[in-house]
A and B are shown apart, each in its own frame.
Chain A
Amino acid sequence: MSRISRNFIIAYVVLVGLPVLGLIQVLKSGRGLAAPLSVDGTWKLQTDASPLSKSPCGNPATSFQNPLLQISQSGKALVLTLSNGAKMTTPGAIEGTKIRAAFPPSATGSNQTGCGNEGALVLTATVDPKSDPRSLVGMLSVDNCSACATVEFRGERQTAQDVKGAH
């Protein structure tokens, strides 16, 4: 074996072989990492909006009978779009199994007085990580409004086939 070939092999082992071994080690150690629960996708919610509609601040939510909830996820950061004809979009977050987002009054169309702190419509939900397809339970409430009733809902994540069928 010539000196050049030997040097090449040594350089190759050091500069390519060793990093590849490092990569394998990283892939092994990374398997133990936990990422936030996946909630990305379209969720079909089942809800009864009537209690909220009777509340002083509930008008914006009356149109949301069994709405679709679209969630775009980037780690813990979410963008939620609640739609049933009209659409409301807001950022949110997931911590563990809990989702929380607040639709500002400008999004809900509510600017009535007496609706608490700016009358934001707050969505909180708990995801069941073991269910397949993934499901959640939660409630819609009006921020800082003691007179306003909450609306409970259940949701199930739509599969790709469900979403295609819906369109």
Chain B
Amino acid sequence: MPSLFTLVLQIAVIMALCRVVGSLFRWIRQPRVVGEMFAGIMLGPSLLGWVGPQFSAYLFPPSSLGFLSALSQVGVVIFMFLVGLGINPKELKKQGHAAVLTSHVSITAPFVLASFLSLYLYPKLSDDSVAFTSFALFMGAAMSITAFPVLARILTERDMLRSRLGTVAIACAAVDDVTGWCILAYIVLLIRAAHTQTPIWLTIGGLIAFALIMIYGVRRMLQHFETIYFQRGALSENLMALMLLLVLSSALCTEWLGLHLLFGAFLMGAIMPKEQKFVRYVLDRFETVTVTLLLPLFFAFTGLRTNVGLVKGREMWMYCGLIILVATVGKLGGSMVASWLTGMPLREAAGLGTLMNTRGLMELVILNIGLDIKVISPALFSMMVIMALFTTFMTTPVLELICPKRILGDEAAATPQVVLDRSQRSARSGLNGAVVELDS
């Protein structure tokens, strides 16, 4: 068992590096989360393990990784709750046909292209313990995801949340994430069912029953949180603890039913009351510890599992390049073409495609699940992490190129505006103030 000293040292090093690299990335006008993801990779075998293997072995002995993993998973569970909290189904319903079409195309285009790519990659990067269907569906889900919180953050920073582009992007990202997680749930079920004796119909039945209880039963009870908040102006520590307990219980239920912890946490967030002040209040209570302490542990844990050294030789780098190309063409191209066909000007359509191509942390969450259930191999995991970093990194500069603030300023000037604070801006755009402070 690793000493407490080792664990605390790990946390200190991870936090310090994430803050430093995150700040450096902010300096080059990148979201902090990209820097933190990069810091995680630096701590793994790709850099620290390569440059200083002895120090790496001292800092991250294999026996200590279980504790680091457990802590980071708790962070991701809370993070997924916050992501679910930020999604407001009522606001999504307000979007017109164009947004519906764009969001669905932005899922299907990368999904189909990824499945085509799977025909090529499966014999090269997978093995016969993974069925092609699972492999292709996972690749599709992983490539069609959008980092809803990072995207929201970028839009806030660029003062684009109120614009048509911002509104459509947020709606599409939310639809993409919900759809992506549903598809992922199906894949996890397929794969886990093959390794358990519980019949799959029983698992699916249990999950449907759980979802119905949550949506039609627990959801009503959750309204009391909002009512008490508006009566007293705050929630007591006991109520916050109860909320956290409900999140953990929901996560445990989905894990026990054969799915994964994160789905329960996400569902709990999605069915929480959506009044903007209440959502902002809950976010403020949870996100400081989650974002500054627990998520960096997740980045480090992901980095420890990412070995860029496995992407060795021209052939492997070609696969990696293909993955980046297909992910970008599918997501950026698909969203752009669909929104352009539905009447959005070409420049805005290209901006939307660029925003939708942001994968960030959500991609890492999905990839870790894929590696856990062994649907992707370590080398493919590393390639997909590189893809996630690349597509997230490219968002800000490409967006600046396509939609410079100067042009957005002209657009904004054409419509009457009032100066709004952040929560108001978020609320008006349908975000309920739910921009998780990933990169503030």
Q: Which residues of A line the B interface, CB within 8 A? A: 4-5, 8, 11-12, 15-16, 19-20, 22-23, 26-27, 29-31, 33-40, 72-77, 79, 91, 129
Contacts and interface: CB of A to CB of B under 8 A. Distances in A.
A3 to B, nearest CB: 12
B101 A11 contact: yes
Contacts of A27: 115, 132-133, 136-137
Main secondary structure, interface of B, reads: helix
Contacts of A22: 112
Contact of B128 (A16, A20, A37, A72): A37
Nearest to B111: A23
B133 A30 contact: yes
B123 to A, nearest CB: 5
Contact of A26 (B112, B337, B342, B374): B112
Contacts of A33: 119, 122-123, 132
Contacts of B118: 26, 30
B123 A75 contact: yes
A23 to B, nearest CB: 5
A35 B119 contact: no
Contacts of B116: 26
Contact of A35 (B104, B122, B140, B312): B122
Contact of B129 (A30, A40, A75): A40
B97 interface: yes
Contacts, number: 108
20 contacts: A15-B105, A15-B337, A16-B104, A16-B108, A19-B112, A20-B108, A23-B115, A30-B122, A31-B132, A33-B122, A34-B128, A35-B127, A35-B130, A36-B126, A36-B128, A38-B127, A40-B127, A73-B127, A77-B310, A77-B312
Interface in B87-141: 97, 101, 104-105, 108-109, 111-112, 115-116, 118-119, 122-133, 136-137, 140
Interface residues of B, number: 39
A85 B312 CA distance: 29
Contacts of B249: none
Given A5-B97, A74-B310, 7 more contacts: A11-B341, A15-B341, A26-B112, A26-B136, A27-B132, A39-B127, A40-B127
Contact of B125 (A12, A15, A75): A75
Contacts of B122: 30, 33, 35
Given A23-B140, A27-B132, A74 B97 contact: no
B380 interface: yes
Contacts of A76: 124
Contacts of B312: 77, 91
B378 interface: yes
B95 to A, nearest CB: 13
A5 B115 CA distance: 30
B377 A73 contact: yes
A72 B123 contact: no
A38 B374 CA distance: 11
A67 B187 CA distance: 35
A61 B194 CA distance: 39
Contacts of B310: 74, 77, 79
Given A15-B108, A26-B119, A75 B133 contact: no
A16 B379 CA distance: 31
Rank and list the top 3 A-B pairs by shortest CB-CB distance, nearest first: A74-B379, A38-B129, A74-B377
A4 B125 CA distance: 45
A130 to B, nearest CB: 12
Nearest to B310: A74
Contact of B132 (A16, A30, A74): A30
B387 interface: no
Contacts of B112: 19-20, 22-23, 26
A73 B380 CA distance: 10
A19 B378 contact: no
Nearest to A37: B128
Contacts of B136: 26-27, 30
B104 A12 contact: yes
B223 to A, nearest CB: 35
B366 interface: no
Nearest to B337: A15
A75 B377 contact: yes
Interface string B283-309: 000000000000000000000000000
B269 to A, nearest CB: 27
B338 interface: yes
Which interface residue of A22, A26, A72 has the most chain B CB atoms within 10 A? A26
A24 to B, nearest CB: 9
A19 B338 CA distance: 13
